[in-house]
């Protein structure tokens, strides 16, 4: 049986991948907040483009046949600047942002005519200033700009190698001196990939200083004022590192070259789904609307919701099975009708109305017991009716009649001979209850001000927070898959004679 359970768990993995693909495909058609005309009118075109890019709306959904890396971006910006015209100013801003990572792909400028060459060299002047190069003022002088960058590339071009950058980053992490940081600043955004790769969440005072040094370099290079302040503790420093790693997940293609295997990987990773999947694997399932990692929020909030859901299911079925048995035993009597009326009344009462009334009567108490009972109230009807129907059918079987003929009383016939066979359909039904119970849990969480999954899920729906919604969807699919395994185990525990049949059926599946 253990081997069977492990085999089912292995089959769960491709199932979860399929669920994630389908869920992401559906979510990709939901209108994004940035599509709102009111929001678009209140933002500049640059701000709107930045928001859309940070939400990966500039990428295809699943396959990107033409991923753009820093080389393609730099060459396109250089051509636009060289051609002049209306796009030249925007291209100059793009080239400034690409910075040192673009230099190996555009220097030297010998391939350009004299006038376009001068325009491109002047567009690089802000990069020279950011790098802190000697005589950087010459880069802004039309008479000297081309010569400045020619001399720079002749002298320093050999330093723009990945191995050199990694060595410089290791020296900064080890020694943490200003001179080591200056080495990286002079490489500008070409060093950003190695800096982010070395940036890890700090664990103690020593690693906190290392993270601070790396973040300071990244903040200067990327021109983003997000640093670890001197008084920040470990939690604040980790949050800062998380923000930088999220930044890199969005903008890494602006500073990396795709070649060989990286080019092939980029066809998948440089997509909306690929960006989400990479962020989920490397950044604790992404960042929730609260700014915290999704995994941390799930760990904090899931126990409340799961306690409500599974506590309500357990309570409902603990009540429903005896009620169903009693209803079957008193078939056609008044007690049977009374039980049916009671459970149907409980089922039709709106959970929100019952929750609000209970909250008012309880004075706003935040115990989980009352909300669990309210959810269980709405779940009792289905298993009660299922148990009654199954038990009525079993009580007409020959083996039950034979037991009664041998002197077994009605109670013994039901408890010993009937329930073991009649409870199996109820077990199957129980595994289908979590989605229904989850909706009720979201309602009672709101009414009783319990900070479970429902609160953030509603915010995620409003903000189209794909990371949170994907985590909830995959989590629900995982629970459903585990429910299937639990159903098989329950069948064997209730009636060991079913073990061979269950194992053979599942093996064939």
Q: What pLDDT, in 10s, does the model give residues 206-239?
A: 899 999 999 999 999 999 999 999 989 998 999 8
Two tokens, residue 144: 């000297």
The pLDDT-based confidence of 506 (bands split at 50, 70, 90) is very low
The pLDDT-based confidence of 124 (bands split at 50, 70, 90) is very high
pLDDT at 417: 56
State the Cα–Cα distance between residues 23 and 121, nearest whole angstrom.
Answer: 48
Q: DSSP character for 291?
A: S
pLDDT at 508: 44
State the Cα–Cα distance between residues 268 and 263, nearest whole angstrom.
Answer: 9
Query: Helix 369-379 to helix 351-362 angle, to the nearest 10 degrees?
Result: 150
CA 281 to the chain's CA centroid: 9
- Assess whether pLDDT exceeds 80 at residue 19: yes
- Assess whether pLDDT exceeds 90 at residue 118: yes
pLDDT tens digits along 71-93? 999 999 999 999 988 889 999 99
The model's pTM: 0.79
The pLDDT-based confidence of 503 (bands split at 50, 70, 90) is low
The pLDDT-based confidence of 345 (bands split at 50, 70, 90) is confident
CATH 1.10.3720.10 residue ranges for the chain: 301-453
Instruction: Kindly report the average pLDDT of the chain as a whole number.
Output: 85
Out of 16-20, 89-93, 325-329, 468-472, which region has the weakest mean confidence (pLDDT)?
A: 325-329
pLDDT at 409: 57
Higher pLDDT pick, 98 / 368: 98
pLDDT at 401: 65
The pLDDT-based confidence of 395 (bands split at 50, 70, 90) is low
Highest mean pLDDT among 18-32, 34-48, 206-220: 206-220
- Assess whether pLDDT exceeds 60 at residue 248: yes
pLDDT at 498: 60
Q: What are all long-range contacts of 284-290, with beta carbons under 8 Å and residues at least 24 apart?
A: 284/242, 285/467, 285/471, 286/246, 286/466, 286/467, 286/468, 286/470, 286/471, 287/242, 287/246, 287/467, 288/456, 288/460, 288/465, 288/467, 288/468, 289/456, 289/459, 289/460, 289/463, 289/465, 289/468, 290/456
pLDDT at 153: 94
Average pLDDT (263-290) is 86
State the Cα–Cα distance between residues 297 and 460, nearest whole angstrom.
Answer: 13
The pLDDT-based confidence of 389 (bands split at 50, 70, 90) is confident
- Assess whether pLDDT exceeds 60 at residue 509: no
pLDDT at 5: 63
Two tokens, residue 352: 């929100």
pLDDT at 163: 92
Q: DSSP character for 293?
A: B
Average pLDDT (416-444) is 77
pLDDT at 455: 86
pLDDT at 285: 83
pLDDT tens digits along 401-424? 666 666 655 565 565 556 666 677
What percent of the chain is predicted at pLDDT more than 90? 40
Average pLDDT (95-101) is 95
Can you say whether the dihedral through the CA atoms of 499, 504, 507, 509 is positive or negative? negative
pLDDT at 13: 81
pLDDT at 414: 62
Q: Around Cβ 429, how many Cβ atoms within 10 Å?
A: 17
The pLDDT-based confidence of 344 (bands split at 50, 70, 90) is confident
**Cβ within 8 Å of residue 361, ≥6 positions away:** none
- Assess whether pLDDT exceeds 60 at residue 446: yes
CATH class of domain segment(s) 301-453: mainly alpha
């Amino acid at each position: 049986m253990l081997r069977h359970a492990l085999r089912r768990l292995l089959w769960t993995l491709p199932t979860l991948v399929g669920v994630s693909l389908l869920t992401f495909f559906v979510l990709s058609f939901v209108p994004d907040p940035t599509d709102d005309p009111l929001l678009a009118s209140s933002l500049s075109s640059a701000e709107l483009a930045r928001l859309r890019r940070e939400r990966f709306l500039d990428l295809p959904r699943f396959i990107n046949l033409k991923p753009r890396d820093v080389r393609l971006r730099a060459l396109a910006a250089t051509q636009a600047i060289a051609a002049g015209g209306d796009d030249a100013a925007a291209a100059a801003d793009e080239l400034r942002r690409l910075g040192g990572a673009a230099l190996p792909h555009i220097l030297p400028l010998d391939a350009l005519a004299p006038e376009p060459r001068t325009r491109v060299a002047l567009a690089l002047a802000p990069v020279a200033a950011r790098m802190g190069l000697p005589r950087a003022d010459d880069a802004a002088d039309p008479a000297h700009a081309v010569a400045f960058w020619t001399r720079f590339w002749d002298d320093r071009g050999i330093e723009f190698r990945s191995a050199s950058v990694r060595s410089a980053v290791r020296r900064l992490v080890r020694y943490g001196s200003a001179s080591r940081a200056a080495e990286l600043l002079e490489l500008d955004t070409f060093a950003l990939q190695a800096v982010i790769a070395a940036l890890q969440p700090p664990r103690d005072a020593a690693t906190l200083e290392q993270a601070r040094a790396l973040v300071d370099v990244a903040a200067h290079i990327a021109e983003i004022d997000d640093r670890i302040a001197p008084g920040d503790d470990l939690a604040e420093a980790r949050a800062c590192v998380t923000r930088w790693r999220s930044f890199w997940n969005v903008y890494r293609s602006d500073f990396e070259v795709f070649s060989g295997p990286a080019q092939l990987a980029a066809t998948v990773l440089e997509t909306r789904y690929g960006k989400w999947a990479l962020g989920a694997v490397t950044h604790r399932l992404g960042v929730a609307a609260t700014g915290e990692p999704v995994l941390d929020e799930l760990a904090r909030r899931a126990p409340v919701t799961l306690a409500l859901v599974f506590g309500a299911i357990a309570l409902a079925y603990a009540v429903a099975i005896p009620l169903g048995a009693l209803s079957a035993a008193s078939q056609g009597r008044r007690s049977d009708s009374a039980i049916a009326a009671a459970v149907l009344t409980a089922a039709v009462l709106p959970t929100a109305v019952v929750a609000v009334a209970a909250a008012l009567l309880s004075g706003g108490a935040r115990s989980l017991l009352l909300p669990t009972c309210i959810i269980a109230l709405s779940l009792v009807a289905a298993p009660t009716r299922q148990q009654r129907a199954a038990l009525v059918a079993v009580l007409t079987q020959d083996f039950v009649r034979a037991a009664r003929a041998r002197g077994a009383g009605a109670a013994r016939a039901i408890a010993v001979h009937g329930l073991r066979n009649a409870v199996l359909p109820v077990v199957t039904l129980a595994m289908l209850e979590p989605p229904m119970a989850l909706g009720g849990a979201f309602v009672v969480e709101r009414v009783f001000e319990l900070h479970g999954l429902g609160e953030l899920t509603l915010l995620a729906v409003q903000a189209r927070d794909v990371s949170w919604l994907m985590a909830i969807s995959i989590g629900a699919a995982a629970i459903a898959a585990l429910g299937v395994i639990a159903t098989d185990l329950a069948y064997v525990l209730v009636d060991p004679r079913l073990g061979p049949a269950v194992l053979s059926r599942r093996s064939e599946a």
